[in-house]
Amino acid sequence: MKYIVAIIQPDCLNAAMDELGKQGVDLVTVTEVMGHGRQKGEAQVYRGHKEAGRLLRKIKLEIAVNDDYVDKTISAITTATRTEQIGDGKIFVLPLEQCARIRTGEVGPVAIG
Amino acid sequence: MKYIVAIIQPDCLNAAMDELGKQGVDLVTVTEVMGHGRQKGEAQVYRGHKEAGRLLRKIKLEIAVNDDYVDKTISAITTATRTEQIGDGKIFVLPLEQCARIRTGEVGPVAIG
Amino acid sequence: MKYIVAIIQPDCLNAAMDELGKQGVDLVTVTEVMGHGRQKGEAQVYRGHKEAGRLLRKIKLEIAVNDDYVDKTISAITTATRTEQIGDGKIFVLPLEQCARIRTGEVGPVAIG
Amino acid sequence: MKRLITTFLFLLAALAFPGIVMGAEEPSSLNKGDTAWMLTATALVLLMTPGLAFFYGGLVRRKNILSVLMQCFMCMCLMTVIWVLVGYSLAFSDEHMLGGMFGNFKHLFLSGVGYDGNIPDQLFMIFQGMFAIITPALILGAFAERMKFTGFCIFMSLWLLLVYCPVCHWVWGGATGFFGLGEDGALDFAGGTVVHVNAGIAALVATFVLGKRQGYPGKISPPHNLPFAVLGAGLLWFGWFGFNAGSALAANGSAVNAFVVTQVATAMAGLTWSIIERIRNGKTTVLGMITGAVAGLVAITPAAGSVNAMGALGVGAGAGLICYIFVAAIKPAFGYDDSLDVFGVHGIGGIWGALAAGLWATNAVPGNETNGLFYGNPEQIGIQIKAIVYTLVWSGVVSFILFKVVDAVFGIKASEHEERIGLDLTEHAEAAYTVVE
Amino acid sequence: MKRLITTFLFLLAALAFPGIVMGAEEPSSLNKGDTAWMLTATALVLLMTPGLAFFYGGLVRRKNILSVLMQCFMCMCLMTVIWVLVGYSLAFSDEHMLGGMFGNFKHLFLSGVGYDGNIPDQLFMIFQGMFAIITPALILGAFAERMKFTGFCIFMSLWLLLVYCPVCHWVWGGATGFFGLGEDGALDFAGGTVVHVNAGIAALVATFVLGKRQGYPGKISPPHNLPFAVLGAGLLWFGWFGFNAGSALAANGSAVNAFVVTQVATAMAGLTWSIIERIRNGKTTVLGMITGAVAGLVAITPAAGSVNAMGALGVGAGAGLICYIFVAAIKPAFGYDDSLDVFGVHGIGGIWGALAAGLWATNAVPGNETNGLFYGNPEQIGIQIKAIVYTLVWSGVVSFILFKVVDAVFGIKASEHEERIGLDLTEHAEAAYTVVE
Amino acid sequence: MKRLITTFLFLLAALAFPGIVMGAEEPSSLNKGDTAWMLTATALVLLMTPGLAFFYGGLVRRKNILSVLMQCFMCMCLMTVIWVLVGYSLAFSDEHMLGGMFGNFKHLFLSGVGYDGNIPDQLFMIFQGMFAIITPALILGAFAERMKFTGFCIFMSLWLLLVYCPVCHWVWGGATGFFGLGEDGALDFAGGTVVHVNAGIAALVATFVLGKRQGYPGKISPPHNLPFAVLGAGLLWFGWFGFNAGSALAANGSAVNAFVVTQVATAMAGLTWSIIERIRNGKTTVLGMITGAVAGLVAITPAAGSVNAMGALGVGAGAGLICYIFVAAIKPAFGYDDSLDVFGVHGIGGIWGALAAGLWATNAVPGNETNGLFYGNPEQIGIQIKAIVYTLVWSGVVSFILFKVVDAVFGIKASEHEERIGLDLTEHAEAAYTVVE
Ligand SMILES: Nc1ncnc2c1ncn2[C@@H]1O[C@H](COP(=O)(O)OP(=O)(O)O)[C@@H](O)[C@H]1O
Ligand SMILES: Nc1ncnc2c1ncn2[C@@H]1O[C@H](COP(=O)(O)OP(=O)(O)O)[C@@H](O)[C@H]1O
Ligand SMILES: Nc1ncnc2c1ncn2[C@@H]1O[C@H](COP(=O)(O)OP(=O)(O)O)[C@@H](O)[C@H]1O
């Protein structure tokens, strides 16, 4: 099992979820985050005081999947969010050792979906 | 060491923290997230424009523990948050390689608690 | 590759990012979280109703790095955020199996930076 | 869509030839200074309901704020329509029905409500209409976060007609005989009994009929947006000058006195609450401060026409102290779930204010001829108590029956699932704040 | 810095000896009651623009709220300055230019605008100035989230002079002959055509010139902060009493009637919208409620001086129904992107209101001598339609030309990148809310 | 609890027989138009303090907003009580103490403040009471995010009595001789010196006594909620009409002029600030716009009774320019931490406004007989400077002593730990916003 973390542009969230749904990846956890990357933030000015404004709003997706879904997940996200403009984001894959569904107590691969 | 991630219902946060405390798991990081799972979101309407409303408010707990605490942690969370209704949430266990306490510079299992 | 998660005090964010920048670690994702740790929260009172107030505002940094950057990253964060007061925070290092840049499709260590 | 259009055409036709003649040439009797102030005061009272919406809305959990705002705005709409159609007539006809319990239907559809008088009758009607909006709205704090919206609308409509209109008629509407509270000489300048005791007891009844929220009392999260509650308190304070000083119905000494004592009692009550908190917990809270201030506003309401600024210090200090004790000690002891302390603040504050009017009333205040206990007239206390008791009994009993009936027919309590998700999504299909973008 | 100081010194010098004598001793003719009310009413109308700012600002995405607030506040500043310098003269000189299309420059720099009259001319001037602020501000809802700020400022300045001032002159400014809409007897008490139809059609034109937002309609996030929109609606409702009842220019029966019907029509329209939603979707929404209420406020505006409370029920019900159909059915069918439904609510609501004034007008209302269709005067409808058509044509055509010209010279549409990041950061270098601390 | 009840009973007894007779029958002398306007104006001034609370509260970090709101509301409570007990007497008795520095105790507990006069004395008293609330509240922006609450309450109470009351007495309270600033003919219509210079210099002193916030200037986060600041600015603008036009104490030509110039100067100042930003940074900011507008409101305050609309353009443009230079260039150069630029906006804006009144004053304005420099009376500038200097010296020195004394006795600076956690939690045991639910 893998734990996939993707950082994407906020306006791509809907598209990403649609595409994931098509690939049968229905379960996902979404967090609002701020990113500092190659895409530079916008400078800000407050009463003459300037701020570098290093952070930009991003969306983090977390998706636990069984191993055979990893590629589908990555390609679904990529398809939905790639604009080829700087700031599109990243996908990280972490190993996942265990997974449990609270409601039923099921554990392992069966609990993921 | 393990890094445990749990997605739970917002109204179970207090119960979960109480139960974790009882098991000696005192340290936890809490994030507000939105979840898309088996529990369907509520449809929304804005001036006649309908939204699927796929996301529901959830709480994410992150808890780094030593290996002998993993089961206690999982069972504490389960006990506190299981209502047997859809949407109760999931627990994920990730491997944790290193842990450092910033204040003291301690590293490894001793830094976790 | 490693996935580094650090929980720090909110007012240390700027310092941490400056210091990381100096070490060549430029990319980071920032989340607002609430922490329960050794540092106790402040009790709260609402119309006579008391709350333990267990949670305090914290900032979570997530940084994916190649292996040779791990130490630099940890020491940069530590340098910038250690005040030797309780509540300084923690750094966790998780294994990272894969990394992909959405914009270009690059994968692996090259996609991290 | 077709159905809608038919309905609309019907409505149109019905309104097209409205038989009712409504007024006349501009009368020379109108006093422009008084009218200027009363126009302003009426607008100020209207603003109190959005103020209340934020005061309440900031205190609930994030998932329920829209339901509170919606209920407040629905009161602004629904009560206005009912008021101009029939409510005003029931409350303010000078001819009575049912032994003086109600006014009659003389002013149905505002028939005969003209533009004459020192201030035009139409202006008096709409000023009073604003009271008929905020009084039901006050109640909703008691059952916030768990009442179904349809039941809410039905209950409130009936409550206006069967509880608010009669009590209003007894005190201000010229009822005589058994129900002649105004005739008795009860001091209720701007609605201590008519508005606050009335809404407060209905609120208490509601908590018993509806039961508690899940997790109450231990697991209810704190106010989700205290600045909104502070904003609401600020708007309430501002608008309340229209409520109290407007109740003089003129820009005269009585209005000035009402204005002054409103400010003084409110300030004193906010201060008192803060001092008590400081003594008991070592810290003052914003929620305490604004709760105290609202308690002061409530308490001075009945007394604003009869006490002076020094009396207002007493009214305010008492309001802060008594409401504090009630909200922080007595309510938790009983354990009922009055979500936003409507009874503790409006009910208790209103009772205290009505009594306090009987204590500090002095004929040195312009426009007032009644003295209270401290100025040598102990009987006034009795008159005040009578007005309070009438209101408690009538409103308590009828509200209870209404809740039960509406519950039986439409259902009033949100399901466990709805409560958990929050009423914003389940009742109104909206979320107050987006998380993304 | 040097440049700034020079500019300033220049300005100082220019203003130091202002040649223009502005007024005189306090006149005995002034009516204090009327003046008191009009001071209040003017302040209330000013408050409507911050109210609008929050009504609109709450509905856009989080990344664009400041751009909306900024545009509203810029209207408050820019329009005021233009108005006192030249706008007032163009709109309200009793001498005309260009065949009566404009007033002339008689009152340039407020020359000859004194402190005389039942209410002082200066007071009338500033009351009208507040209308000149909010009318352009209304338009911005149509192109919210995608208009460049510099283009906005230029467009709005020109629009005030070339669209608002003439239309205002035709209806209220004493234009005669071909443009003499007021002379014709068109009923527009507080600005159904001058304000709402005028802004509404300009808004519609804007949506065509600017095109859609990226992702519209499918992928536009819902309102980022509905409580802000509700706050704005509350402030609008409150301020609108100044707008409508202030348009009587006195604290008289006409003002009282305008106040009453404003409340009634608004309530009825909010209620109507909610009922329609309840029937169609099973749920009422807060956004629907406040949209309905604003539609009611818009619709009653032209009619506030001529219909009574029962007529107002009809005006309000019609506004709720017609605007609902437009916003929920007709707009999506056409598919243009009027971000915040300015045309659907203000344009359509204003047209309906202007027609409704021709239906329900009755001379039983104080200060009004014109009857409408339902009171036996079918011609009035024709007069109303003429006023609507004039406004639609002039405002539509001139707004279109202005947009095109400003676009060519300064650019009006934000780039794709700016739209994505949000105008707050790209146009104003600020973020509305911090995420950290 | 026992202790509380005893205290209360004591208070009750003390107030029960209040010896003081407070007024009389409604006097025939009262002018209803003027009274109507002054009731409204007083309510508007009250609203300014919640407005200020949001203006300030939106600009601090999220962890400190409640402390700002609390300090504002505490001013509303505490200052009111002090004012009616003793402050009004010290400021407005027509008999003087200490060589005319203070009024005497003649009106202690409002003794002898009746319901007579063109507007009742009680109304004048409460109108002035609202000024006594907002003036101390202005100061708190300077030490926001680091002042302890108890020290705050003590300091503010003393400041009202020892700084505000005397300065008010000198300018408006009828002081003669050495302190007779009003007698001199100083133009301060609505409080340029009494309110803004006075609060501004106290604010500057505060920044030196308290020192900087941790991390200032580099690491202070930007405003946590700019829409709140905009809301506050909107309410301030609205309320300021009561402040300035109310200072005419009547609904007359003077009030109308004050209203007009308030609008014009504010608009011009907001516009000026935006233009400067556009020139210097290429972008206009919302914070700049509202800061400029507030600077304009401040600057026109002393001049509102003596300059006309064209003069107001000069006053506003100067305010925008000078305050901009001060806030964006001079303050950073000095490096002191005036958290919310109270000195830069209110102090400097007030000084500029007081001088500007000496420049553009013209007797063409109703109710004003004094000309300024540009109308041929250079002496007026000297008189204005004297008033400014008196205020700067007295307020500067006494505020400094008060801060030091209160610091020594109670402590005024929050600890490093408290500053880090935020004053909301450490001083008030509350969080403004929940993260969960
Ligand atoms: N190494 C990393 N660790 C953590 N977050 C990262 C990392 N690299 C990128 N991110 C996140 O992804 C976002 C997009 O990255 P960015 O470098 O701007 O775009 P691109 O991937 O197109 O070059 C960043 O804002 C940041 O939140
Ligand atoms: N595979 C997954 N990856 C990421 N998050 C998940 C996954 N499965 C569940 N979640 C999270 O857990 C929440 C609850 O899951 P849900 O399927 O609704 O309930 P249940 O576990 O009772 O079937 C979801 O809203 C989502 O946030
Ligand atoms: N084992 C853990 N798991 C998850 N989060 C932790 C853990 N330990 C600490 N944290 C996070 O780090 C923050 C700081 O920890 P705390 O114990 O207060 O300080 P210190 O590390 O100085 O002892 C906590 O508020 C919490 O968010």
Where are the strands (E) in E154-217, listed by range?
Answer: none
Distance CA E195, CA E175 (A): 17
Q: Give backbone dihedrals phi and psi of B2, rounded to 5 degrees, phi first.
A: -125, 155
Which of E35, E80, E427 has its CB closest to that of F283?
Answer: E427
Confidence of residue A52 (pLDDT cuts 50, 70, 90): confident
Q: What is the pLDDT of residue F407?
A: 97
Q: What is the pLDDT of residue F15?
A: 52
Query: Using CB atoms within 10 A of its CB, is residue F382 exposed (0-12), middle (13-18) or buried (19+)?
Result: exposed
Number of domains present in the structure of chain A: 1
Q: Quick one: which atom of ligand 1 is closest to the CA of C65?
A: 1
Q: Flag the least confident range among D131-140, D150-159, E4-13, F326-335.
A: E4-13
DSSP-derived letter for residue E147 is B
Q: F431 CA distance to ligand 3 centroid (A)?
A: 21
Residues of chain C with pLDDT under 70: none
User: Judging by DSSP bridges, how do beta strands A98-101 and B89-95 pair with one another?
Assistant: antiparallel
CATH classification of the domain holding A76: 3.30.70.120
DSSP notation for E286-329: HHHHHHHHHHHHHHHHHHTTT--HHHHHHHHHHHHHHHHHIIII
The per-residue pLDDT for range D200-252, each reduced to its tens digit, is 999 999 999 999 999 888 888 899 999 999 999 999 999 999 999 999 999 99
Among A47, A54, A55, the strongest candidate for a mutation testing the F interface, having the largest count of F CBs within 10 A, is: A47
Ligand 3 contact, C39 CB (< 6 A) = yes
Q: A90 CA distance to ligand 1 centroid (A)?
A: 6
Which residue type sits at B51? Answer: E
Q: Is F239 helix (H, G, I), strand (E, B) or coil?
A: helix
Q: Is A28 helix (H, G, I), strand (E, B) or coil?
A: strand
Distance CA E314, CA F49 (A): 41
**Inter-chain touch E328–B48, beta carbons under 8 Å:** yes
User: What fold, for F26-428?
Assistant: Ammonium transporter fold (1.10.3430)
The per-residue pLDDT for range A71-84, each reduced to its tens digit, is 999 999 999 999 99
The per-residue pLDDT for range D345-393, each reduced to its tens digit, is 999 999 999 999 999 999 999 999 999 999 999 999 999 999 999 999 9
Q: What is the pLDDT of residue F5?
A: 53
Q: What is the pLDDT of residue E3?
A: 54
CB of D245 within 8 Å of a chain F CB? The answer is yes
Q: A54 CA distance to ligand 3 centroid (A)?
A: 26
Would you give the distance in Å from CA D413 to the centre of its chain? 23
**Tokens 């008030």, residue?**
F428
Ligand 2 contact, B89 CB (< 6 A) = yes
Ligand 1 contact, C103 CB (< 6 A) = yes
- Kindly report the length of chain F: 437
CB of D63 within 8 Å of a chain B CB? The answer is yes
This prediction's pTM: 0.95
Q: How far is CA F339 from CA A17, D73, D319, F326, F332, in A?
A: 44, 38, 36, 14, 12
Q: How far is CA B11 from CA D420, E349, F398, in A?
A: 8, 43, 53
Q: What is the pLDDT along chain F (437 residues), one digit of tens a residue?
A: 455 554 444 444 445 444 333 333 444 589 999 999 999 999 999 999 999 999 999 999 999 999 999 999 999 999 999 999 999 999 999 999 988 899 999 999 999 999 989 999 999 999 999 999 999 999 999 999 999 999 999 999 999 999 999 999 999 999 998 999 999 999 999 999 999 999 999 999 999 999 999 988 888 889 999 999 999 999 999 999 999 999 999 999 999 999 999 999 999 999 999 999 999 999 999 999 999 999 999 999 999 999 999 999 999 999 999 999 999 999 999 999 999 999 999 999 999 999 999 999 999 999 999 999 999 999 999 999 999 999 999 999 999 999 999 999 999 999 999 999 999 999 999 999 988 77
Residue nearest ligand 3's atom 19 by CA: C87
Measured in Å, how far apart are chain F's first and last C-alpha atoms? Answer: 34
- What average pLDDT values come out for chain B (113 residues) when binned by 10 residues? 96 93 94 90 86 88 96 96 93 97 94 90
Q: Are D248 and D254 in contact (CB under 8 A)?
A: yes
Q: Say which residue, F421 or D24, is predicted with more confidence.
A: F421
Residues of chain E with pLDDT under 70: 1-28
As a whole number of angstroms, the longest Cα–Cα distance in chain C is 57
Q: Compute the C-alpha angle E362/E363/E367, nearest 5°.
A: 120
User: For residue B58, is it left (φ>0), alpha (ψ between -120 and 50) or beta?
Assistant: beta
Ligand 3 contact, B62 CB (< 6 A) = yes
Q: Give backbone dihedrals phi and psi of F142, rounded to 5 degrees, phi first.
A: -75, -35
Distance CA E230, CA E129 (A): 26
Q: Which is nearest to D195 in space by CA: D395, D399, D37, D360?
A: D395
Which residues form the domain of A64?
2-112
Residue D112: how many CB atoms within 10 A of its CB? 15
CB of D420 within 8 Å of a chain B CB? The answer is yes
CB of F382 within 8 Å of a chain A CB? The answer is no
Q: How far is CA E33 from CA D30, D243, E26, E119, E368, in A?
A: 11, 20, 16, 9, 21
Ligand 2 contact, A99 CB (< 6 A) = no
